[in-house]
Amino acid sequence: FFVRLAVCSEGPRAMTDLRKHATYEVGTVCFYEDEGDNWRICAIQKVAGEPPKQAFSVRTCTIDGTLEADGLTATVPLDKLAPLSEEWLAPVKDLLHMVTLHNSLLLEQIRSRYWRDIIYTNIGPIVLALNPYNYNLPLYTDDNMPKYIEERAEALHGGSRLPTHTWSVAHNAYWSMVKYSKAQSILVSGESGAGKTEAAKIVTKYLARCSTHFASAAEREQARVITDKIESASPILEAFGNAKTLRNDNSSRFGKFMKLQFSKNGFLHGCYTINYLLEKSRVVGHAKGERSYHTFYQLAAGATEEERERYRLQDPTAFSWLYSGVERITEDVQA
């Protein structure tokens, strides 16, 4: 075993001191924190009152101070302002390379990447992903996958020359497993609707392809059969464990631990899934606008006349446990 330590002579500056010494007057371009905890770039339009109880009227603008035509306005106290310098917002690919640290600057970095359709950002070896709600962003479509796979073990320890991706995490895990013969873990975390379930699917698909990219046609075929099985298990698990919530139309209401098994020569040859902490109470009730588990609606939508008769099935709106009068029922329920 060995431990790699990165020692930096000069780390990023925390914003605390910079905030203490910042001055704000009419025309100053800075950040303000709105009621939704968003830090927005703004220009100060008016300062009222005397320190320390000043009120600053601000309006959103671009970094060069150009006011936004349909921008937002607000009046905020001093502690809702944070200074801004163009140099602190120099684009970085890894948030660890930022020269000054503050929520406002972190948010602005990832926001400006997002508007350029760059949804992945490194924080050291961690990949921060923003949900794009779009599977066709040119940088990330599946036809880019071979480029990542072909980097092989050279991409380990930050050696990749490609834009970061969820695939990068899968790639590093795969080659660390092969190179050091050690089991690897990938943790996907985030709030509801952040894209964890989709990220886990992206990781699984990549690992399957990566493990057989250089294999014979027969070995690739064998792995394809296993991958198909893993992929087709998802809709079944999701039917019984996912439901529409106010935050996510396909919210996982259970925890999932997936163990992908590889043979000694590195081929994917099995998958083992443990489910835990299912939200059982949803079977007998759910919040307004939400739904019970998909499977009940799918059953009602897809049953034959004979099954309807046999199981006494009716339209979901007839069952109070499935419908409380406000939720959408028919959309996205695949029978």
Task: Enumerate the known binding-site residues for ATP.
Answer: 190-197
Cα(92)–Cα(194) distance, rounded to whole angstroms?
A: 23
Under the criterion CB under 5 A, does residue 252 sit at the interface with Mg ion?
A: yes
Nearest distance from C-beta of residue 192 to Mg ion, angstroms:
7
Q: Which does 172 bind (CB under 5 to 8 A by kind): Mg ion, ligand ATP, none?
A: none
For the annotated binding site, the residues are 190-197
Size of the site for Mg ion (CB under 5 A): 2
**Nearest CB to ligand ATP, comparing residues 197 and 227:** 197
Helix (H, G, I), strand (E, B) or coil at 170: helix
Bridge partner residues of 252 (DSSP): 242
Q: Is 333 exposed, middle or buried (0-12, 13-18, 19+ CB in 10 A)?
A: buried
Under the criterion CB under 5 A, does residue 197 sit at the interface with Mg ion?
A: yes
**Nearest CB to Mg ion, comparing residues 212 and 252:** 252
**Nearest CB to ligand ATP, comparing residues 83 and 195:** 195
C-beta of residue 92 within 8 angstroms of C-beta of residue 113: no
Residue type, 258: M
Nearest distance from C-beta of residue 280 to ligand ATP, angstroms:
16
Under the criterion CB under 5 A, does residue 204 sit at the interface with Mg ion?
A: no
Nearest distance from C-beta of residue 200 to ligand ATP, angstroms:
8
Binding-site ranges for ligand ATP (CB under 6 A): 131-135, 190, 192-198, 248, 250-252
Cα(137)–Cα(120) distance, rounded to whole angstroms?
A: 12
**Nearest CB to ligand ATP, comparing residues 33 and 238:** 238
**Nearest CB to ligand ATP, comparing residues 167 and 175:** 167
Q: Which H/E stretch holds residue 73?
A: strand 73-77
Nearest one of 126, 163, 124 to 145, comparing CA atoms: 163
Residue nearest to ligand ATP (CB): 195
Beta-strand relationship, 100-101 and 13-14: parallel
**Nearest CB to ligand ATP, comparing residues 69 and 187:** 187
Residue type, 85: S
Q: Is 153 exposed, middle or buried (0-12, 13-18, 19+ CB in 10 A)?
A: middle
**Nearest CB to ligand ATP, comparing residues 151 and 198:** 198
Q: Map 181-200 to HEC letters.
A: CCCCCCCCCCCCCCCHHHHH
Residue with tokens 């990068």: 168
Nearest distance from C-beta of residue 252 to Mg ion, angstroms:
3
Residue with tokens 């893993």: 230
Nearest distance from C-beta of residue 197 to Mg ion, angstroms:
3
Q: Which does 85 bind (CB under 5 to 8 A by kind): Mg ion, ligand ATP, none?
A: none
Q: Which does 194 bind (CB under 5 to 8 A by kind): ligand ATP, Mg ion, none?
A: ligand ATP
Peptide bond between residue 83 and the one before it cis (omega within 30 degrees of 0): no
Nearest distance from C-beta of residue 183 to ligand ATP, angstroms:
24
Gap between the terminal Cα atoms of the chain: 52
Q: Which does 192 bind (CB under 5 to 8 A by kind): Mg ion, ligand ATP, none?
A: ligand ATP
Nearest distance from C-beta of residue 234 to Mg ion, angstroms:
11
Please give the angle made by the CA atoms of 297, 300 and 305, to the nearest 5 degrees.
165
Contacts with Mg ion, residue ranges (CB under 5 A): 197, 252
